[in-house]
Amino acid sequence: MTSPSNATLSSSPARGRRKARTVTSPQPQPQQAQQPQQPQAIAAGWCVGTVSACGPEGFAVLSGTLQRNGRRAASCLLEPRVGDSVACMEVAPKELWILAVLQREGGQAHVLRLSGDTRVQVDDGALTFAAPRLALHGDQLEVRAREGRMAVESVELVGRHLRVVGSVVKLVGSVLSTVMDRVSHYSRHYVRTTDGTDRVAATHVECEARQLLRLSGEHTLVNGEKLVKTRGGQIHFG
């Protein structure tokens, strides 16, 4: 039989115990997926103005009450002049590009200006230039083609040195006139045929043959105003 005192002693620790509390750590919240940023283009503004000045550094464009210094875009082949109406694009406060020449007053020449090596290529078709007057200016001119043809009414070539090289050269015409200080000719075989008169007028005429010299004609005349001289190892007449 248990005594009351023992019962009190055994029940005291039970009352003094504290209930253990369960501590739960906060669960991490799932992060929201970041939305990808949409690509944005560089802002630019259009304007129409008038070229007020031209210089090596660029052009001055006046649009309304705004004046900006700009440069010619690579796509604008026509060189702007003072007074031209131009279409421009402003990509920065101090960066203006002239894209096209809209209007030009009459009387000014049109100049297409390009920088660096330039090539015009036509894949399928023909390239034709048509103008009342066509001029080419350059330090060097080179033309390459598989076949060439030139048809003109009158041609004049002026130069210090003229050289023609070809395997076959043929000249056909009605009249050929040449004026030279000196003419030198060399050929392995030389054949000349004249239907009419073949006349040579010179101060001194000399014909020299290494093996045989032959003069033949239906009528042969040898006339010396002062002297006719014939010399040889053997002389045959008749």
First to last CA, the chain: 193
Q: What DSSP line would sit under 156-207, residue for residue?
A: ----S------S------S------S------S------SS------S----
pLDDT higher than threshold 60 for residue 4: no
pTM of the model: 0.59
Under 8 Å between Cβ of 81 and 51 = yes
Write down the pLDDT at residue 145.
92
Lookup result for tokens 């290529």: 121
Give the pLDDT confidence of 127-174 residue by residue, as tens digits.
Answer: 999 999 999 999 999 999 999 999 999 999 999 999 999 999 999 999
- Rounded Cα–Cα distance for residues 99 and 44 (Å): 13
Cβ(96)–Cβ(70) below 8 Å: yes
Structure confidence at residue 45 (pLDDT): 86
Contact 86, 61 (CB under 8 A): yes
Domains of the chain listed by start with CATH number: 45-103 (2.40.50.140)
**Spatial CA neighbour of 86 closest among 118, 51, 36:** 51
200 pLDDT above the threshold of 60:
yes
Tokens at 106, concatenated: 């009459």
Report yes or no: 71 and 59 within 8 Å, Cβ to Cβ. Answer: yes
User: Chain-wide mean pLDDT for the chain?
Assistant: 85
Name the nearest CA neighbour of 72 among 53, 104, 97. Answer: 97
Cβ count within 10 A of residue 98: 23
Q: What is the pLDDT of residue 94?
A: 81
